[in-house]
Structure 1
Amino acid sequence: MITRIAARDDAPEVIPLLLEAIGSIAYLLTGASDEIEAAELLTTFYKQPGNRVSFDNVIVAEQEGRIAGMVVAYSGNDAGQLDEPFLAKLHGRPGKENSVIVREARDGEFYLDALAVDEQYRGQGIAKLLMAAAEQRAAQLGFERAALIVETYNERAYRLYLASGYEEDDMLRIGDSDYRRMVKRV
């Protein structure tokens, strides 16, 4: 099992994982009305630099040439700028002209935006491996803290993050869901 920065060509394996990880946030980011449209729009963004889900913000875990999992992670300092392409797309859609994107990441921290492991690879420690890779990248870039959010009902992920050293520090409401905001010193 290796971890590496994703490539554009990884989109067919990364996008389903991304959709699974972000759930309804995919519709808020893209303005899509169904999963197929959301996947198409996220694929377009993934293949372009300069946005939150760009391949250059994705770390993948790879086993035997297959993507086993992925984490989207970036500087909280850049969060507003990374959301601008999404806002431009949203504002060009009828009825979405006044859309806003809730800022999840804060300045001074490295933000783990989305984490997912392919179903056939679950239970093998891949989520922990991906978090460690993102935290290592955070430290290399000079960050002292990593942060993430988790839906309040997702107890399994919440327990994983607690066990990995993350502590709850706030609550966020995004769309119709409540999220626990968690931080960790790296």
Structure 2
Amino acid sequence: MIRFAKKQDGAAVAKLILVILKDMELDFLEEFGEESALKVIASCFTDPTYRFGYARGLVEEIDGKIAGAVFGYPASQEAIIDLPLQNYLRSQGIEEEINMFIDPEAFPNEWYLDSIVVDERYRGHGIGSKLLTAVDRLATHEGETVIGLNVDKANPNAKRLYLRDGFQDVGEIMISGHQYDHMQRAVKTRDRS
């Protein structure tokens, strides 16, 4: 069942987000380690403005377990999505500005699909496709009509999934030293007649 994320999902979602962070080879992860990263993500998850905050995501729940998650935000809010991380680090006595992400990712005038991940135990069952379809609910909730995302050029399987869902290439972008294709599609509206 796909549902809006809840505050109590933080620990389970943090484990899924860690998979993405490891794939991206972020300096933050190298500097703080996996255990600290999990704690940071789970703690910040309760802040609805955070990049991975509960209010920005949907989860697929199967038999009481989080099998997958998707998170995103309107491009106009990109400047604030990591402030909860900064606040958390300061609360832990870390005064220097440390960022998990250093590069802007969203293009103007879109709802940006930041992260989509499926627990490895549930892969191959269409959960990623279901989550991808469900992002329209998040974008519409935020009043957006275009969804954008970045796909690593080294991940052709993911790109095929996005192309099947109607996304098209609109540009390229460098994120944390990796080259990505930026893709967009219009929000799919449901016919309610």
Alpha-carbon deviation of 1:79?
1.1
Tell me, yes or no, if the aligned pair for 1:15 and 1:42 is still in contact at 8 Å.
yes
Would the alpha carbon gap of residues 68 and 125 (structure 1) be closer, same or farther in structure 2, given more than 3 Å must change? Answer: same
> Match for residue 124 of structure 1?
125
Alpha-carbon deviation of 1:93?
4.8
1:4 pairs with 2:3:
yes
- Secondary structure of 1:149's counterpart equals strand
Alpha-carbon deviation of 1:57?
0.8
Question: 1:72-83, aligned counterparts within 5 Å?
Answer: 72-83=71-82
Would the alpha carbon gap of residues 107 and 28 (structure 1) be closer, same or farther in structure 2, given more than 3 Å must change? Answer: farther
Deviations 1:118-161 (A, max 9, x none): 11211111111111111133134332210111111111111111
Question: 1:95-174, aligned counterparts within 5 Å?
Answer: 97=97, 101-174=102-175
Deviates more, 1:121-130 or 1:75-84: 75-84
- Secondary structure of 2:32's counterpart equals coil
Letter in 1 for 2:84: P
CA distance in structure 2 between the aligned counterparts of 1:26 and 1:14, rounded to whole angstroms: 19
> Match for residue 52 of structure 1?
51
1:180 pairs with 2:189:
no
Would the alpha carbon gap of residues 24 and 127 (structure 1) be closer, same or farther in structure 2, given more than 3 Å must change? Answer: closer
Question: Could you list the runs of 5+ residues in structure 2 that have no partner in the other structure?
Answer: 188-193
Tell me, yes or no, if the aligned pair for 1:8 and 1:55 is still in contact at 8 Å.
yes
CA distance in structure 1 between the aligned counterparts of 2:159 and 2:64, rounded to whole angstroms: 30
CA distance in structure 1 between the aligned counterparts of 2:26 and 2:58, rounded to whole angstroms: 23
> Match for residue 191 of structure 2?
none
Tell me, yes or no, if the aligned pair for 1:32 and 1:38 is still in contact at 8 Å.
no
Tell me, yes or no, if the aligned pair for 2:22 and 2:29 is still in contact at 8 Å.
no
Question: 1:85-104, aligned counterparts within 5 Å?
Answer: 85-87=84-86, 93=94, 97=97, 101-104=102-105
> Match for residue 66 of structure 1?
65
Segments ≥4 residues shifted beyond 6 Å: 89-92
Alpha-carbon deviation of 1:39?
1.3
Percent pairwise identity: 30
Letter in 2 for 1:21: I
Alpha-carbon deviation of 1:73?
1.6
CA distance in structure 2 between the aligned counterparts of 1:26 and 1:38, rounded to whole angstroms: 13
Question: Could you list the runs of 5+ residues in structure 1 that have no partner in the other structure?
Answer: none
Would the alpha carbon gap of residues 26 and 57 (structure 1) be closer, same or farther in structure 2, given more than 3 Å must change? Answer: farther
* Aligned alpha-carbon RMSD (Å): 2.5
Tell me, yes or no, if the aligned pair for 1:77 and 1:106 is still in contact at 8 Å.
no
Letter in 1 for 2:133: A
What TM-score comes out, normalization by structure 1 length? Answer: 0.85
Tell me, yes or no, if the aligned pair for 1:22 and 1:114 is still in contact at 8 Å.
no
Tell me, yes or no, if the aligned pair for 1:69 and 1:126 is still in contact at 8 Å.
yes
- Secondary structure of 1:53's counterpart equals coil
Tell me, yes or no, if the aligned pair for 2:102 and 2:176 is still in contact at 8 Å.
no
Alpha-carbon deviation of 1:22?
3.4
Deviates more, 1:111-120 or 1:23-32: 23-32
Aligned length: 184
Tell me, yes or no, if the aligned pair for 1:169 and 1:181 is still in contact at 8 Å.
yes
Tell me, yes or no, if the aligned pair for 1:110 and 1:146 is still in contact at 8 Å.
yes
